[in-house]
Chains A and B, each alone.
Chain A
């Protein structure tokens, strides 16, 4: 099982992306466009399970315990003392599995924060990427009161690298005051770079290397590396090696006007030479997504984001005093507009008949995020009250040309299958909104039997997520999309929404450039009992799908699973590190 988990990670390192967006949002001035060039399309889905109602706990304990072990029943019952009967009933309708896997440590999200996401070229304009990352890290330290030497490893994701700080994780963590004894590295995988940072952390914990990980992501589009042309670079390097004045002069003499033209970071997908917006427009057309649908979705995103912002739901945002500027405390790209205004915009990529506009695309954004991930054991030992379990994830990839942004459609069924859940089981969906057209296309693909059969080798569709569970606090279209930082925002948002809405399972999906898709399914089920400090894995047992070595007996309850897990150990002993499940509950 552990192996299968690692297989997932391996995929991630293949991806690379240069992402560019000429950014703009809904400003009437209208020079904001998305032009993204991502060689890899990634999707990332995280499935979260969070039951923070005691009810579900009670239900589970009641349901499972009696046949197995009366002592457990008592224990659960005591803990769920305050649970009401109605809640009990309500929860019963949900599938009450824990997605914990025997032999695998429970991994928890303790906290997640982010800087405000700002339009590129605004208040952050004079900073450097590591400044933003530093702000996020300091915010995390502040919020969690984490001792600066209590972290085992720090991982950051980023897409367009500032060449001076290519390991931005290290520069940012040193600057944030973390102990210089904490190793840190930077990963990249287009728009899901911080997802990779998190899953890398999960892998380190699972492998027994670490217990406490800080993962995050940063993107800074207000400044991007612009290079000399290749010919000029060649001359300049040769100039370094030139020994005599004569050699130098002849090299200088070889410089032509044309060599002075600078080289911008690639606007197009490396493998196909197609810009992402162009690809999104074709994708929308392939699925028959109309301009109206896209504009409506964009408007929905902005409207919901505005509501969430006004209601103070975006509690992951920390305020940041920008040196030499004001303190920033809010995302500045949220601009609910009207359908009439949206309809006025001209297509940004495919002209004149395209449907993707500046308004229904995500805009160029600066921002950073950070999360604290720990083994449950460690988190509890340190007195934290985790927010969610991170359960499972999948990275998938496909054709970088025609299915560049179609990752969520491929990844979602996979991650659900791994977790043994259905679409209906999920309470909270957070999908990365690269383009409204891309989201709509993915929803249509998920809802099509023909697509499932023809392209995914499935018998039937899994269905589209219910919109009343979907991106309820806005998304990348409205909040902004700093490529490297979005993944952590999505995961933190799911945790917060599960807590707020009382759901059990959440699922995150994000697409990235390159035709690859990483699907992160984190199913995390959380349970706070009594003192709200103790966390219990609620229940249990997914149907064993292929790669799990658990005997199917454990189909019933949390209680059984506990037992089961122990049994499994007996069978598969081979040096598995004991996990939390082996400890007392």
Chain B
């Protein structure tokens, strides 16, 4: 009876979050622990499998209207954890599952931490990804616990740390292995076992068998000594600051505030440290960047759900046509999800290239220790490479990723429909061809759907699913279910040329070409776009997508939408393709790519090529800022038009699609949130100015005009 076990379990949710109510209850229980003389130590554990505490309750922060309120919240958290830290009775945090944000801050306030080695056990401070900072003592305790560099790494990247790594870093003291089947279910017994071990630890601490002050090793002593030198610390701050500025272009305030808070604590003592943390937390919570990032977080959660319900039959056998970059990429994200995958190509060379891509993708995971070589082998056993249609009679879904040519697609759909069973879904991976045109060749258009993956498939989180008016609801549900299994964030959009994402990108690329024609060199163009917050510059993006693809899309969409999609001359792209500048895949595009080299130089041949198509810039709309807004406003206007035309289901999916698929600046939260924050009227005013020079390329759509007229109209409440 000497060890009190505190079990946390939020009955209303799948995960535990630090809400006001939970905080109050914890304080109550903690007071009891302190007051009860029979209790000498305590164990803090969650009864939920897979979750310790997933973080602080975001709604609690969003409910605040002023930064002072948020600062107060932070200070309350700080106070509570300070009491835990100074508790005369040792408290052992027993961690199984996610221990993030406020959860981690809680855990590191405890005297001792035991964690399971389960794959679900992750520790981290993801606040920075929401534009916030660890506001309950995290910026003060972490540097002491894992060292200054380690703490910055955790807080500035927000990445998840697995149990093994956490032990090495000194974030947890002891690890417990997850258990297999026994006399209870593995999850249940693992939690019980964790609790038993944690209780042993608690007793050990009380009986001085476990010492809380660890003997420092030589390395540790040296490191501490070095960190004790003020000059070294200053260098670190400077260095980190420089890196952050380089990465964020100063568009994200949170990382800078984190550095500031850590610095305050280390240089001016804990009192000012905690104060700086609370005040900065309050300030950050009120920034538009934080608002945008939190919006994206909610949107992402929403886009990880299947709003079309459970499909009638789950996809167990998936066939992919075309083993190119896309096809093999789709295979790679499918085959390790327990779906038997067939990869079909027409040539042995194409097929083996694709198989090698899948193999390499899995092999790289071994190098990162995410999987073992055995897991790679057994995963690959569910991949079949073939050149014919054998086995397609068992396929539940076929995804074609063949060349973007309507005639080829028609031929393929006919060939496939001759061999697949009646329930099988035919998904087409295209970035621009309207699905209904492809479905025109189908005998059963209700089973035809578009699944637009983004390259590289294993890295890009977005999947754009396109339904025609004939696509059945079950087909959509099934496609979404497969996409979710593949780990994708999914938006479901209506059919039309370019759907949503390609359609937004096309006018921006057209504008980018015009900018190039006006004499801005690719490096400068990249700097302008990344300076606005795009993770990849427009010229680099074109190279990544492929100049040939861009030309193709520009031409197709130009035809479909008419002069509105004009801007740069399509012939620029076409000439580039003719001369073999197809982008990264051909080694040359806007830039020259040398294998093995990370840095890239501007393609020298592109200058004379652009010279041929040279346009004279109009100085009134050619300042750096104007170039940026010309690019962005066309993007945003097209996005709003997609909502207006019903291609988009709502602004949330529009924001998610733009950010996760096209790299729209996350700090702006997506085109719709950008309109809300920036002001539709201001945007329209800018566009009108460009319209005068360039004509209908910049004509704002009706919905945007409506929002400009009425400032109460907002896309996000």
Binding site for B on A (CB under 8 A): 270-273, 278, 281-283, 285-288, 350, 352-353, 399, 401-403, 406, 441, 444-445, 448, 450-451, 454-455
Within the complex, the shortest CB–CB distance from A328 to chain B, in Å, comes to 40
16 extra interface residue pairs, beta carbon distance < 8 Å, beyond A273-B372, A286-B193, A445-B182: A271-B372, A272-B372, A273-B374, A282-B180, A285-B182, A285-B189, A286-B186, A287-B182, A288-B189, A350-B177, A353-B176, A353-B197, A353-B200, A403-B180, A403-B181, A444-B183
For the complex of A and B, 9 pairs with smallest distance between CB atoms: A402-B180, A286-B182, A286-B179, A271-B374, A287-B182, A353-B197, A282-B177, A285-B193, A448-B183
Complex Cα gap A402–B178 (Å): 9
Closest to B184 in A: A450
Complex Cα gap A161–B177 (Å): 32
Complex Cα gap A208–B186 (Å): 47
B182: chain A residues within 8 A (beta carbon): 283, 285-288, 441, 444-445, 451
Residue from B179, B182, B185, B200 with most neighbouring chain A CB atoms (10 Å): B182
B379 interfacial by beta-carbon distance below 8 Å: no
Closest to B176 in A: A353
Within the complex, the shortest CB–CB distance from B3 to chain A, in Å, comes to 15
Q: Mark B163-187, 1 if CB is under 8 A from A, else 0.
A: 0000000000010111111111110
With A353-B197, A353-B200, A402-B186 known as contacts, the answer to whether A283 contacts B180 (CB < 8 A) is: yes
Complex Cα gap A272–B193 (Å): 21
Within the complex, the shortest CB–CB distance from B521 to chain A, in Å, comes to 46
B184: chain A residues within 8 A (beta carbon): 450
Complex Cα gap A448–B180 (Å): 16
Complex Cα gap A542–B374 (Å): 43
User: Would you mind naming 17 contact pairs between A and B with Cβ atoms under 8 Å apart?
Assistant: A273-B372, A282-B177, A285-B177, A286-B181, A286-B189, A288-B189, A353-B174, A353-B176, A353-B197, A401-B180, A402-B180, A402-B181, A444-B182, A445-B182, A450-B184, A451-B182, A451-B183
Complex Cα gap A399–B183 (Å): 16
The answer on a CB contact under 8 Å between A399 and B374 is no
Complex Cα gap A286–B189 (Å): 6
Closest to B209 in A: A352
Complex Cα gap A454–B186 (Å): 12
Residue from A272, A288, A441, A450 with most neighbouring chain B CB atoms (10 Å): A288
Complex Cα gap A444–B177 (Å): 21
Within the complex, the shortest CB–CB distance from A291 to chain B, in Å, comes to 11
A455: chain B residues within 8 A (beta carbon): 181
Complex Cα gap A287–B184 (Å): 8
The answer on a CB contact under 8 Å between A270 and B179 is no
Complex Cα gap A450–B183 (Å): 7
Complex Cα gap A282–B180 (Å): 7
Within the complex, the shortest CB–CB distance from B332 to chain A, in Å, comes to 22
The answer on a CB contact under 8 Å between B181 and A454 is yes
Select B183's contact among A272, A288, A401, A402, beta carbons within 8 Å: A288
A350: chain B residues within 8 A (beta carbon): 177
A-B pairs with CB below 8 Å: how many?
A: 62
The answer on a CB contact under 8 Å between B180 and A286 is yes
Binding site for A on B (CB under 8 A): 174, 176-186, 189, 193, 197, 200, 372, 374
A286: chain B residues within 8 A (beta carbon): 179-183, 186, 189, 193
Within the complex, the shortest CB–CB distance from B579 to chain A, in Å, comes to 43
A287: chain B residues within 8 A (beta carbon): 182-183
Closest to A289 in B: B182
Complex Cα gap A385–B287 (Å): 93
Within the complex, the shortest CB–CB distance from B207 to chain A, in Å, comes to 14
Within the complex, the shortest CB–CB distance from B418 to chain A, in Å, comes to 39
Complex Cα gap A270–B372 (Å): 10
The answer on a CB contact under 8 Å between B197 and A282 is no
Complex Cα gap A287–B181 (Å): 8
A441: chain B residues within 8 A (beta carbon): 182
Closest to B190 in A: A286
B372: chain A residues within 8 A (beta carbon): 271-273
Residue from A286, A288, A444 with most neighbouring chain B CB atoms (10 Å): A286
Complex Cα gap A353–B114 (Å): 11
The answer on a CB contact under 8 Å between B177 and A278 is yes
Complex Cα gap A401–B177 (Å): 12
The answer on a CB contact under 8 Å between A270 and B181 is no
Closest to A39 in B: B374
Complex Cα gap A285–B192 (Å): 10
B183: chain A residues within 8 A (beta carbon): 286-288, 444-445, 448, 450-451
Complex Cα gap A441–B180 (Å): 12
The answer on a CB contact under 8 Å between A272 and B179 is no
Complex Cα gap A451–B185 (Å): 9
With A272-B372, A273-B372 known as contacts, the answer to whether A282 contacts B200 (CB < 8 A) is: no
Closest to B189 in A: A286
Complex Cα gap A445–B184 (Å): 11
Within the complex, the shortest CB–CB distance from B615 to chain A, in Å, comes to 58
Complex Cα gap A287–B182 (Å): 5
Complex Cα gap A476–B572 (Å): 79
Complex Cα gap A538–B520 (Å): 99
A270: chain B residues within 8 A (beta carbon): 374
Complex Cα gap A288–B197 (Å): 12
B374: chain A residues within 8 A (beta carbon): 270-273
The answer on a CB contact under 8 Å between B179 and A402 is yes
A281: chain B residues within 8 A (beta carbon): 177
A445: chain B residues within 8 A (beta carbon): 182-183
Residue from B176, B177, B189, B193 with most neighbouring chain A CB atoms (10 Å): B177
Within the complex, the shortest CB–CB distance from B215 to chain A, in Å, comes to 16
Closest to A404 in B: B180
Complex Cα gap A537–B372 (Å): 52
Complex Cα gap A153–B91 (Å): 66
A403: chain B residues within 8 A (beta carbon): 180-181
Complex Cα gap A371–B374 (Å): 37
Within the complex, the shortest CB–CB distance from A569 to chain B, in Å, comes to 43
Complex Cα gap A410–B372 (Å): 27
A448: chain B residues within 8 A (beta carbon): 183
Closest to A441 in B: B182
A401: chain B residues within 8 A (beta carbon): 180
